[in-house]
Amino acid sequence: MSDIQFPSKILENAVNEFSKLPGIGRKTALRLVLHILKQEKESAYQFADAITTLADEIKYCKSCYNISDSDICSICSNPRRDHSVVCVVENVRDVMAIENTHQYQGIYHVLGGLISPMDGTGPDDLTITPLEEKLKSEEVKEIIFALSTTMEGDTTNFFLYRKFQQYPVKFSTIARGVAIGDELEYADEVTLGRSLVDRQPFEKNAL
């Protein structure tokens, strides 16, 4: 499709813009653009406006770096959340995934990435300094690492654990094991092995 002849520069420009999005090829982009053209003009304005507003008005919480409509996000400003427990995550999607479980009452800290020498992401590219400030000034009692079990996640976990050794804080990571509802025979061996080593008293799980 690279040498495709568009009947209109405006159409071509819109297709090019959509093609810049991740996972959207030129054929899909054309389909999306023709869909927008079929709608009322009002829908297109509304769509464009949502994007402009997104770029202009979205903020990042000054405390946890989560996406927010205000300077301090609704989680950090909620007095009913436990501000002594901080869950360290990679990005906003992880916050949303954990919030969706309705199992967590503490606050978050969004790193904005993981340490990855391959991608050129070092500790200075992440929000590690503000996290340390939080440890210094606030009454944080526990840090929960909820990062991916990838090389980057493990590296970041280890880096933070070493860096924050001096603070009187309890460190924990989310439990790894066989997913609920999964058949044992299909679990990968690393996860299955880990689930045996980290076995839990039966009563605790049989609530």
Task: Tell which residue, 134, 113, 130, 135, has the closest CA to residue 122.
Answer: 113
The nearer residue to its own copies, 25 or 117, going by C-beta atoms, is 25
- Name the nearest CA neighbour of 144 among 94, 187, 202: 94
Identify any residues that bridge with 173 across adjacent strands, giving them in sequence order: 145
Return residues touching its own copies (CB under 8 A): 3-11, 13-14, 16-17, 20-24, 28, 30-37, 41, 43-58, 66-69, 73-75, 91-93, 95-96, 99-100
Q: How far is the CB of 190 from its own copies (least distance, A)?
A: 26
Residue 93 or 199 having the CB closest to its own copies: 93
Shortest Å, Cβ 195 to its own copies: 27
Toward its own copies, which CB reaches closer, 113 or 177?
A: 113
CB contact at 8 A, 64 and 131: no
* Of residues 49 and 198, the one with the C-beta less far from its own copies: 49
Least gap, CB of 21 to its own copies (angstroms): 5
C-alpha span between 31 and 128 (Å, rounded):
42
Name the strand (E) or helix (H) holding 71: none
Tokens of 140: 């944080």
Minimum Å gap between C-beta 163 and its own copies is: 26
